Amino acid sequence: HSSGITACTYHLFYNSIPVLVPLQAMLTCLGNTTAMFAAYRIAVSNGWRAPWGEILALNEEDSSNANIQEEDSQSLVGFEDLGDALATDNDWTFIAKLFAGCAVASYVVKYGELWFDFPFESELYLSLAFIFIPSLLNSFKWWKR
C-alpha cells in the first residue's frame, strides 16, 4: 500500500523528488517481509510445522488469549467493504457506476492538478505527507479491526 502510494506521489510531482525511489524500494521490502511473516503466522495457527523444527518461538502464545474483536464504527469502513453496498446492483448498473466513477476520477486527476502549484514544485515534506498520512490512516483502520 505505502509503496504504491510512494510511486504515485513520485509521478504526481513529475519525478522531481529522487529520494522517493529508494523510499519506495524500502517500503516494498518491508511490506513483502511483513506479508511473509503474516503468512507464516497463519500457517502455524492452522497446524503447519516447519520440517526443520521450531525456528522462532511464535507457537508459545496461549490460544486462550485470542484477541476479542470489538464492533467497528462505520466511519472506518474502507473500499474493501464496498462489496456489501454494491451487492444489490445488477451487472449493467455496476458497469455504469464503474464507468462514471472512472470518468470523473480521470477528469479530476488530469485537470484538477492545474488548480494547484504543488505538483510543479519539489517539496519533500509535502510528498512525505502524501505518503504517510494515508498509510497511517490505513494502519489505524486495520488496527481497529
CA distances from 91 to 68, 88, 97 (A): 38, 10, 10
CA distances from 122 to 43, 76, 128 (A): 44, 32, 11
Q: Identify the pLDDT of residue 120.
A: 81
Confidence of residue 38 (pLDDT cuts 50, 70, 90): very high
The answer to whether residue 131 scores a pLDDT higher than 80 is: yes
* pTM, entire model: 0.58
pLDDT digits (tens, 9 = 90+) for 68-111: 454 555 554 566 667 777 777 888 988 998 899 999 988 987 88
Q: Tell me the mean pLDDT in the region 114-123.
A: 82
